[in-house]
Amino acid sequence: MKIIYCGDVVGRAGREAVLKNLKYMRQKFAADVIIVNVENAAHGFGVSENIAKTFLNAGADVLTTGNHVWQHRDIVPFLDSSKQIIRPLNYPANSSGRGATEFRLADGRVILIAQVLGRVFMDPVDNPAFAIDNLLRSYNLGKNIDAIFVDIHAECTSEKLAFGCYLDGRVSVVAGTHTHVPTADAKVMPQGTAYITDVGMCGNYDSVLGFEKQAPIDRLCQRYNANKLEVCTHGGSVCAIMVETDDKTGLAKSITPFRIDEKHDQ
């Protein structure tokens, strides 16, 4: 199975970059499934129902979110009604939506997609390792599920690394998001799980994490927080990974990070 995962979409620049490259990515990599993190897709924080539907209608298969998932109230009923968008698994069990979903390919293969939040420098949530353990009790990779993709949306690199090592051999992919900066450690771990600490963002890289530079500079130099963060509206790039798994075992054969700066209109 060939899986593409696009990192955090940040504002209009990120939206346009991904939307104008979805068809191109699917064709170029012969992708079976495309997953997009829409955590910051609406004005840099969260995602609205309309924006989520725009990604799905344009060809994304499943959407992940993160700690800003509740930013726009209209997304809450959509989280409950759609199986193509997930929120972090380790939020309280009575939270709206689902923390994992199964996506069935046209040829009958099924991939499980899940997301957890880290806890270091993040919101207080349930233990991500225990949450994923509870989920995986129902799945046996390569037997009753063809692939398992897990996003860890976290601030701390060591937490992401420990989580990836913890799941090595039990899932197909562990991919980190949230920090918006792509890391250079993509690898297939010893027991066969593809791993990267952070996929990077889909947005404007001539910026501060997808936002116009001046307000962050003011906060750095003057501790002046009155200036509103303004998300970049143009010049976006796509940062993503492509993972190929073995259909017999469900484990990863390869992981390839890639970046697209040119927009390929559909």
Structure-token pair, residue 226:
């009155």
- 159 within domain boundaries: yes
Adjacent-strand bridge partners of 110: 104
Q: What is the rounded CA–CA span in Å between residue 218 and residue 227?
A: 8
CA distances 9 to 16, 64, 121, 228, Å, are: 9, 10, 21, 19
- 106 within domain boundaries: yes
Phi, psi of 218 (to 5 degrees): -60, -40
- 42 within domain boundaries: yes
DSSP code of 21? T
Q: What is the CATH number of the domain that holds 93?
A: 3.60.21.10
Q: Where are the alpha helices (DSSP H) in 111-266?
A: 128-136, 157-167, 214-222
- 110 within domain boundaries: yes
Residue 120: give the domain boundaries: 2-259
- 265 within domain boundaries: no
- Is position 178 annotated as part of the catalytic site? no
Supply the pTM of this predicted model: 0.95
Q: What is the rounded CA–CA span in Å between residue 13 and residue 165?
A: 34
Q: Can you give the pLDDT of all 266 residues of the chain as single tens digits? A: 999 999 999 999 999 999 999 999 999 999 999 999 999 999 999 999 999 999 999 999 999 999 999 999 999 999 999 999 999 999 998 999 999 999 999 999 999 999 999 999 998 999 999 999 999 999 999 999 999 999 999 999 999 999 999 999 999 999 999 999 999 999 999 999 999 999 999 999 998 888 888 888 888 898 777 778 889 888 999 999 999 999 999 999 999 999 999 777 65
Which position has the token pair 């771990």? Answer: 189
Catalytic residue among 43, 68, 153, 178: 68
- 112 within domain boundaries: yes
Q: What is the rounded CA–CA span in Å between residue 263 and residue 235?
A: 10
Q: In total, how many domains does the chain have? A: 1
